[in-house]
Amino acid sequence: MKRSITLEYDERSFEDLNPDQKALLLEARRASNGAYAPYSRFFVGAALRLDSGTVVSGSNKENASFPAGTCAERNALNYASDHHPKDPIQSMAISAHTDMFDIREVLSPCGICRQVMTETEQVQGKGFEVILDGPDEKVWIFEQASHLLPIHFYLKELKK
């Protein structure tokens, strides 16, 4: 039996975003400037808006001892979890830039980050919007992080 999965997202331009979405994406762009990426030259920033309105951000950090680096998305999520454990995530924006090649399409988080984002939704008991930055002011918006990883892995699915 053949089955299929579809990804549903809203494609907009930066100018069509609401003020909160614009501000969060601008914060993700700013955070990407703090990335430490001397090897890949791929600079990523992530910004989270929590239910309280607090915004936290993170950037990717590489290390010569691959794969010891950490992605921007997980840096921001871990910071929020440690410093704001009772303040659920409402929205997340992710932006990347590089001087090594042309980015021609909206970029997606890696698989590990998608899993962590999806499990974060499970832990907090609700989804959060994900805003992905792209070239030429193109933006993709997913209603929740789990839409980026429709087949995910959860501990509750394991039986003892």
Catalytic amino acids?
Answer: 73
> Residue 77 corresponds to which tokens in the numbers above?
């999520």
Contact 140, 147 (CB under 8 A): no
Q: To which residue do tokens 């100018």 refer?
A: 15
SS3 per-residue string spanning 99-118: CCCCCCCCCCCCHHHHHHHH
Q: Cα(88)–Cα(134) distance, rounded to whole angstroms?
A: 26
Q: Reduced to 3 states, what is the DSSP secondary structure of residue 119? A: helix
Measured CA to CA in angstroms, residue 157 lies from 47, 51, 153 at distances of 30, 28, 7
